[in-house]
Amino acid sequence: MSAKKRIAVIAGDGIGKEVIPQAVRVMEAAAAAVELTAFDWGADRYLVDKTTVPPEGFATLARDFDAILVGAFGDPRVPSNIHAREILLGMRCKMDLYANVRPVRLMDASFCPLKGIERKDLDFVVIRENTEGVYGDLGGVFKQGTADEVAIQEDINTRKGVERIIRYAFEFCATNQKIDGSPRRRVLMCDKSNAMTHAGGLWQRVFKEIAAEYSHIETQHMYVDALCMQMVRDPRGLDVIVTNNMFGDIITDLAAGLQGGLGMAASGNLRPGHTSMFEPVHGSAPPIAGKNIANPFGAILTAAMMLAHLGMTGEAQRIEAAVLEAVQQKKTTADIGGTLGTREAGGWVAERVSRR
Ligand code: IPM
Ligand code: MG
């Protein structure tokens, strides 16, 4: 009987097709007990037969795989981006991957555009609600094309959805440590309840309710605009942040900027007890695709996050340590100061991992 974890690999479009092979190579170098199956979902397939997600696609992923490793979607040949929406947002929503976990850490002080921020100063996690909010794309247009046109974009917040993501954040805080080994202590809830009172009110009430169950965890609340300023002015006190889908999207790009750009940021789209999906935070980056210049570390760190989630913590730690070593020795792509190509940076990390 094989104890190997079954991983569906969907590289997707653009630089996804370059960085995911590097992540795969590094997992193999770590001798991780995984069995990989590649899926061709993405723009190329869509342009051939108009398939975004094949029939039973999500059901197959949920039934036959332990996790999914995704690259990126988006291709100028598909201006509507319908395939990206149906595959990526479809997976998050239809597979109910409700917790988007995006760790923010600094591998080298020089990557952070802020003055005086050291490695130890940046170690927080954004827990982004991943199935509701404005991403449901509910709404419509009325009198389109006239001077009286009305566009309505609904923001969905369910009691169940809000409660489970806030609970996830508290549970995450209670059971995860910072990189230096100290416990996580605080959950900050970010909303815009001063302007969006209906949704904000629900988030506020649920946050207070769940917080009462975790009396040892500190709580804090910030409006999203104020949090953006705080993240740029002094991100040192940030620990666990929980927020809705849209604010989570925006603040995690800001956070990626703090840690060295989108090329370094990893994420997991989780549904506890079910098949979860892991993807680098960056997109398909069409302008730099196919040139062997994309940073593969976000994808490699994402693979490490996936292995840790599947219980392979030793392999995950070896991979993270090798990426850190690559950063310290400037064996990186140009976006973070090195001179290597995508394949060469991936190869360097793979080689280090195999020696550890
Ligand atoms: C992300 C991306 C996606 C999002 C896009 C590609 C739809 O920006 O994963 O953060 O908005 O969630
Ligand atoms: Mg985003």
Residue among 88, 135, 247 whose CB has most ligand 1 atoms within 8 A, to mutate: 88
Which pLDDT value is given to residue 162? 98
What confidence tens digit (pLDDT) does each residue in 43-96 have? 999 999 999 999 999 999 999 999 999 999 999 999 999 999 999 999 999 999
C-alpha of residue 252 to centroid of ligand 2, in Å: 7
Which pLDDT value is given to residue 263? 86
Ligand 1 atom 10 nearest Cα: 249
Structure tokens at 17: 């097709």
Which pLDDT value is given to residue 2? 58
What confidence tens digit (pLDDT) does each residue in 31-45 have? 999 999 999 999 999
Rounded Cα distance, 286 and 40, in Å = 18
User: Can you tell me which atom of ligand 1 is nearest the CA of 73?
Assistant: 6
Position 123, amino acid: D
Rounded Cα distance, 166 and 168, in Å = 5
Which pLDDT value is given to residue 293? 97
Whether residue 135 contacts residue 93, with contact meaning beta carbons closer than 8 Å, is answered with yes
Q: Which residues contact 24 (CB under 8 A, 6 or more apart)?
A: 9, 36, 69, 303
Q: Which residues line ligand 1 (CB under 6 A)?
A: 89, 249, 281, 283
Which pLDDT value is given to residue 236? 96
Which of these, 216, 224, 162, 159, lies nearest to 188 by C-alpha position?
A: 224
User: Can you tell me which atom of ligand 1 is nearest the CA of 252?
Assistant: 10
Which pLDDT value is given to residue 3? 85
C-alpha of residue 333 to centroid of ligand 1, in Å: 23
Which three-class secondary structure string do you get for 118-182? CHHHCEEEEEEECCCEHHHCCEEEECCCCCCCEEEECCECCHHHHHHHHHHHHHHHHHCECCCCC
Given a cut of 70, the residues of the chain with pLDDT beneath it are 1-2
User: Can you tell me which atom of ligand 1 is nearest the CA of 283?
Assistant: 6
Which pLDDT value is given to residue 1? 47
Which pLDDT value is given to residue 65? 98
Ligand 1 atom 4 nearest Cα: 249
Residue among 249, 269, 277 whose CB has most ligand 1 atoms within 8 A, to mutate: 249
C-alpha of residue 251 to centroid of ligand 2, in Å: 8
The ligand minimizing its distance to the Cα of 130 is: 1
Burial label for 254, CB within 10 Å (0-12, 13-18, 19+), is middle
Active-site residues, by number, are: 135, 192, 225, 249, 253
User: Can you tell me which atom of ligand 1 is nearest the CA of 253?
Assistant: 10
Q: What is the mean pLDDT of the chain?
A: 96
